[in-house]
Amino acid sequence: MRLLLLLLSLQLTASLQAGPLYESSYTPLSEASCRTIDIDETGIATRQQCPGFGKYGVIVIETDLRQSITLTRDGREYPFAFWRTVSPAWSILGNLVEWRHTRLNPGNPVAMIVRLNVSENPVDPDDMSSYLVVGRISDTGICVVGKIPPVRGGQQNRLAREMADNAAALPCVPGSLSSGMRITP
């Protein structure tokens, strides 16, 4: 009996130590956290440098009332072009980037999740759909792999994290410029 309790205790301790394979870290996208690095001559298009994570920087692009993200690494840019990969409608980003990484390698993200609020109703532009956009970050490419539409029951975040944790096996969404790129460290 004592041996059985010891084995169960060891098994429980091992499973608690193992924990989930992937974890999240967050960086802000709020205007107060970012600095403007470029404005076009008309004032319609802007680029803002926001806090990044690990080796990746974040640039928020806004043009014609549409927002998107471009990741940077080692002087190269990897645009997500949400107006092509998610929706051509007017859009605004949420306030955070969620970076998914393995528990044992927190500085090396494998995916990112960002909220994109999209005005897809031309009759009522204030009627917004709130998507969670999932992007893959790997040596074989940085691209959008999917979007999670609003769902009932608060499952949107869980579904986005599941997609992000499997992003390496997912194809890039058509319109992703960086699909299939080989990224060299």
**Which pLDDT tens digits describe the chain residue by residue (185 residues)?**
443 333 333 343 334 445 579 999 999 999 899 999 998 888 778 999 999 999 999 999 999 899 999 999 999 999 999 999 999 999 999 999 999 999 999 889 999 999 999 998 878 878 899 999 999 999 878 999 999 999 888 899 999 999 999 999 999 998 775 544 433 33
DSSP state at residue 182 = -
Q: Is residue 5 part of a domain?
A: no
Q: Is residue 6 part of a domain?
A: no
Q: Is residue 4 part of a domain?
A: no
Q: Is residue 7 part of a domain?
A: no
Cβ atoms of 68 and 61 closer than 8 Å = yes
Q: Is residue 179 part of a domain?
A: no
How many whole angstroms from its chain centre is CA 145?
10
Cβ atoms of 137 and 69 closer than 8 Å = no
Q: Is residue 178 part of a domain?
A: no
Q: Tally the residues of the chain.
A: 185
How many folded domains does the chain comprise? 1
- Domain coverage including residue 116: 21-169
Q: Is residue 175 part of a domain?
A: no
> Which DSSP string corresponds to 116-180?
EEEE--TT-TT-EEEEEEEEEEETTEEEEEEEE---TTS-HHHHHHHHHHTGGGSPPPTT-TTTT
Q: Is residue 105 part of a domain?
A: yes
